[in-house]
Each structure stands twice: as C-alpha cells, then as structure tokens.
Structure 1
Amino acid sequence: MAPFKLLFLLSILAIQSCKTHTNKINGVSFVASRQPIDQTHTRPVVNLGANYVAVMPFGFIKDLSLPNVKYNMENQWYGEKGEGVVQYITELNKQQLNIMLKPQLWVGHGQFTGYIKMANEANWKIFEESYSKFILEYARLASKMNVKVFCIGTELEDFINNRPDYWFKLIKEIKGIYKGKLTYAANWDEFNRTPFWSELDFIGIDAYFPVSSSKTPTVAECILGWEKHKRYILKVQKANKKPVLFTEYGYRSVDYTGREPWLSDRSLNQVNFEAQTNATKALFSVFWHENWFAGGFIWKWFHNHDTSGGDNDSRFTPQNKPVEAIIRKHYRVYE
C-alpha cells in the first residue's frame, strides 16, 4: 500500500475512533410542570449542549401494597399526563432534541417504589394488569411519536424479584408495539440483580452510588470512590454485552453530596456548590470516555430555567449554578 494511502486510512480510522468516544447521550431529566411548554422552556436545554431529554409521565398508587395504578387523572399536572407528554415531545423535537420516554410510578407519601410488593396472588394479578395498561399505553405513544428510547420502569426491584416471568412477558408485548431502543432504570444497588438486561438495548442505572464521605469531596476522592462501583458495572456490562446508560445521574449542591447521593431530605440544606461540581466532574471523568458507556440524563431540569436553582438552592438541579457550566462544556465535547 502506498504511504499516502496508508496515512489516509489511518486518518479515517482515527476519526472513527474519536466518534465512538464522543457520540454520547447527553441528556436532561425534564420535570413535568403544570403548563404547556414553548421555545422559552426548550432553548435552555439546547444551550446546555444536551441532545436528549427524558420526558416523565406519572402513574400513582396509594400504598406499597395497593394494586391499582391511576394515571391521566384530572388533578394531575399537565406534563404528567398523556396530552402533556405529546405537547412536550412536539416542542422538544422542534429543537432537534431526541426523547427518552420514561413513565414512572409515584407511591403515596413518597414511599420508595423499590418496595412495592403485593400481599397475595390476587393483588399481584391486579397490579400486573394495571401496570401493563399504564406502560403499554405509553409504549404506543412512544411508537406514534417516533421516540428514540423507551424506559419500561424505574426502580421497581421488589416487583421484579417477585414477578420475573411477568417482566419477560411485558418486554415481549412492548416489542410488539414499539420498535425503538428499550431500557429499564434500575436503582444503583439493584442493577446487578436485574434479570432481563439481555432483552433490552441498554443497561439502565439510576447512578446514585456513594463515592465520598467528605463534606466537600475533591475530584480525586470521588474518582477513587467510583473504582469498585465501576468494576461491578463493567462486570454486568460484559456479561450482557449491552451498553450502560445512566438513566439518572447527578448530585445535590449540598454538604456531603457524595455520601448518600440519593437523599432528597429537605433537612439537608447547607449549600455547597464546590461539592456538587467536584462530584460531577469525577463522574464525567470516570465514564464518558468509555466506549461501552452510552451516556446519561442529569437529574433534574425544570422548564422555568430563569427561576430554577440559583445561589440558595441545595437541590439536585444544576440550573443557574457553577455545575451548569461544567455540564455544558462536557456535553459539547461529547455531542
């Protein structure tokens, strides 16, 4: 082969290699609101450098052992219902933003969905039928609106552990309706026991792994804290030969943010932007360059950007905080 031809081939391979590293899902978890959205709500997402948005309708159950999923109710917020989902997706698509449709359950009094467990077989059957109706309706909507990714559930470990056959059947039903990519949002301490990754396109993880017990962790501390978690993630990834997607990731702008990142306790309110920024930098450093890592969705992004987050906010949103610039810079490298 002539030297110039070899040089040209090596250049092409280098470009292709770069693309495999940089073509990521750079997403935000878009919080449902009481109202329709428009360009004033979607442009800040584009300005962040995001290329994907998770749209999240909700179904409700009153208690962990009560089997009826209620959804599209009159008293639900606009963005939590089917009509709102359609309007949100339409407006976000106008900005060339791709969608992950992620229907979720909310249990009364904010109880953890991973503990949903029916008391008897009769209630399990009712719950399965009710959940199927809920999730398949949104699968049909995802198909109709050409949504890129559909998430079949979020943090439902006890439901899955107790009824694995149901989930394999449900996935088959969804595939008969929806032809896009599928994932499930497993909690960070659940994903290694989820039995059906081989049936999906992404290993989905809500990535609230503990990475540091420091009040203000350094980037280096958080990178070190990721080591054992990354080994487990990679083990599951290799066993199933599927890319990993962080269906949720993020840190609160609060002291000790890396200690128990899943906590939303409002009594934790000491604002600490450095902790949030350092933990986020570490997560990007550990994962975004990996070929087996598909990307993720920051938790969480509100429609009213100008009045969200800010100097006194200790919650998860990166909006109007130093970490927003970190995410923007990073997303634009990996677009």
Structure 2
Amino acid sequence: MRGFTLPAWNRDDYQSPQADTYLRQIAATGARWVTFTPTWYQDKLTDSAMHTTEETASDDSLRHIISLAHSAGLKVMLKPHVDLVKGQDRAEIRPDDPDAWFTAYDQVITHYAQLAAANGVEQFSVGTELAGLSGDLDHWRQVIADVRSHFRGTLTYAANYDEYRRIPFWQELDLIGIDAYWPLGEKATTDVGRLREAWQPIAAQLADFSARQQRKILFTEAGYVSQRGAITEPYSWTVSKRNGDAEQAAAYEALLAAFDGKPWWAGVCWWMWDDWPDAGETPKKLAYTPHGKPAEQVVRHWWASH
C-alpha cells in the first residue's frame, strides 16, 4: 500500500472544491491509495454511545470523494474514527457500560461497511486506536462478523504502536494494522542512517510478530510534523515551534528505506496529505503534511520512480 490519509474535520470537507485537487496531487506522488476518516464523537470517556457532530463527514460527501478517488486512479480505505469532543485520547475510552457501547459502535461501523461496499471501497478498518476496548475479544469478533456480512474487501484494525501486541483478534482480520508512531530518538536529527538504525530492532520485532500471526503488517498511519524534534514524538502535533522540514524528510526516507521490500510489510498510509482551507489548527509549515516540502520529494523518489 502506497497511500496518504485525507482526514475530514467538517461535514462537507469531502465535497469541497479542493477535494479533486488534493486527490490528483496525491496520485501524482506515486501513491496508489487514499484513506478517508469519518469521525464520530463522545462527550466523555465513560459514555456508552457516540454521536455525529458538524465535524463528522456526511455520507453524501463520502460517496462523492470515494468516486473522485477512483476517478483519479486511487484505491480507497475507509477508516472510521471515534474521538472525544474535548480532545482527550481515544485510547482512554472506557465506557461504563461496554455492552451498550459495543451495540452502538456495531451500528456505526456496519453503517460504514455498507457504504463502503456500495461504493466499491477496497479496504476497511474496523477500528482505530481503541486501546481501552481492544482486548474484548468476544465483542470484537461480533463486530468483525457483522462487518464481513456487508463488506467483502480487505479488513484491518489500526492499532497504536504500543497496542498491537495486545490485540486478541488479528486472526479474524486480513491485515495487521499499526499506527507507526514509534519515537526514533531522544534528540532531533536529520541523520537518515541513525534513523534507519533506530528502526532495526522494531522491524525485527514486527517480522517475528507477522510470522507468528501469519498476517502481513500495514502501517495504517505513519507521519511526522515539520517541527524540530518530530522524531522524538511522532504522535504529537506540538513538538516545537521551530521548522523541521529536513527532519521530516529524513524520517520519511528512513522509514521507506527500512521497510521497503520486506516480504511481511504491506506498506504505509502517511498521515496526512493536506488540511482543508481554514481547518488546520497547526500552520501548514509546521503540520504533518509533506505537501510542498522536501518530504514530498522523498515520497516521489520512492513511489513515482519504482
């Protein structure tokens, strides 16, 4: 998988005039996939249900952008998220009533599985970084079975990098999905060699895990902000206020060099391509997007020329 995520932060982002432009820019990097992230929200970590807000992509907008993506020659992964209205970490969701939560979640996720099937989506994620709930094998087996009853494409789950070993249901899915935000050092660096070395023990562990599970591993997310020190906390939007374009590019280079060609690795979907006008809380020059930065040229070198 050679992909980018194009998240939505508003109801109509995916129907905006920029949508087609972004998708064609993504395709021009050599990418062959794009991921979309309709997001539902909880008010509290202990709530037993989730709801839409004005930040939830509408179904019509999803159908629109899936069609645009296919027209641009891109395959699609649909990866629904659950977030918190006040911005807490979704990994901390621990509902007071797990049965009720999973009943509500099953309805949400099967709705998107039906939408995905009806619109020719190629790949689907049954969940993202729900570490407080992902150990519940029986509930997840039911969720996955219900998704499979509607969607015949490839299924994964996007586990955080510190969560994937504790997932009990990989055998129910087609791919192991990991959001690959491993810290690669304690200090900022643009040394690709050092960053590649930092990946080596992680890659060895992943190779072993893949062999034991008999599933390939997809990096459902990976990315770095354009900030000095990004490699120390890849999961953070706010590492520093100093520009780190060179560090971002080095991190992209190191990841692709460390994993490209490994038979157990199914590829990467970078977080993220670009932000919609007026949507980004982080200025573009400091944000995760590689667009118009040296990291975009790294991607083009690896993907457009291979």
Q: TM-score, normalised by structure 1?
A: 0.85
1:271 is aligned with what amino acid?
A: N
- 2:177 is paired with a residue of what secondary structure? strand
* 1:85 counterpart = 2:85: no
Show the counterpart of 2:78: 101
Give the CA deviation at 1:40. 2.6
1:129 is aligned with what amino acid?
A: T
Show the counterpart of 1:39: 20
CA distance in 2, matches of 1:149, 1:330: 23
1:123-134 alignment to 2 at 5 Å? 123-134=97-108
1:189 is aligned with what amino acid?
A: D
1:30 is aligned with what amino acid?
A: L
Show the counterpart of 2:146: 173
Show the counterpart of 2:3: 27
Judged with a 3 Å threshold, the aligned counterparts in structure 2 of structure 1 residues 168 and 65 are, in CA distance, closer, same or farther, namely: same
Judged with a 3 Å threshold, the aligned counterparts in structure 2 of structure 1 residues 114 and 308 are, in CA distance, closer, same or farther, namely: closer
Show the counterpart of 2:133: 159
Give the CA deviation at 1:214. 2.3
1:219-234 alignment to 2 at 5 Å? 219-234=192-207
- Unpaired segments ≥5 residues, structure 2: none
Q: Is the 8 A contact 1:171 1:199 kept in 2?
A: yes
**294, 297, 301: which one pairs with 1:322?**
294
Give the CA deviation at 1:298. 0.7
Q: Is the 8 A contact 2:229 2:240 kept in 1?
A: no
Show the counterpart of 1:53: 34
Show the counterpart of 2:170: 197
**237, 249, 257: which one pairs with 2:210?**
237
Per-residue CA deviation, residues 99-153 of structure 1 (Å, 9 max, x unaligned), is: 000000111221111111123xxx2122111111110000001111121100000
- 2:232 is paired with a residue of what secondary structure? coil
**248, 253, 257: which one pairs with 1:276?**
248
Show the counterpart of 1:209: 182
Q: Which runs of 4+ in 1 moved over 6 A?
A: 307-312
Give the CA deviation at 1:304. 5.2
Q: Is the 8 A contact 2:4 2:31 kept in 1?
A: yes
Judged with a 3 Å threshold, the aligned counterparts in structure 2 of structure 1 residues 185 and 281 are, in CA distance, closer, same or farther, namely: same
Give the CA deviation at 1:31. 2.0
CA distance in 2, matches of 1:105, 1:312: 24
Show the counterpart of 2:44: 63
Per-residue CA deviation, residues 298-322 of structure 1 (Å, 9 max, x unaligned), is: 11112659x9999971121101111
Judged with a 3 Å threshold, the aligned counterparts in structure 2 of structure 1 residues 231 and 30 are, in CA distance, closer, same or farther, namely: same
- 1:246 is paired with a residue of what secondary structure? strand
CA distance in 2, matches of 1:314, 1:68: 34
Q: TM-score, normalised by structure 2?
A: 0.92
Show the counterpart of 2:123: 149
Give the CA deviation at 1:333. 3.7
The range that moved more, 92-101 or 309-318, is: 309-318
- Unpaired segments ≥5 residues, structure 1: 1-24
CA distance in 2, matches of 1:269, 1:259: 14
- 1:45 is paired with a residue of what secondary structure? helix
Richer in helix (by share): 1
Aligned-pair identity (%): 28
CA distance in 1, matches of 2:69, 2:60: 14
CA distance in 2, matches of 1:227, 1:41: 33
Judged with a 3 Å threshold, the aligned counterparts in structure 2 of structure 1 residues 104 and 313 are, in CA distance, closer, same or farther, namely: same
- 1:177 is paired with a residue of what secondary structure? coil
CA distance in 2, matches of 1:229, 1:291: 15
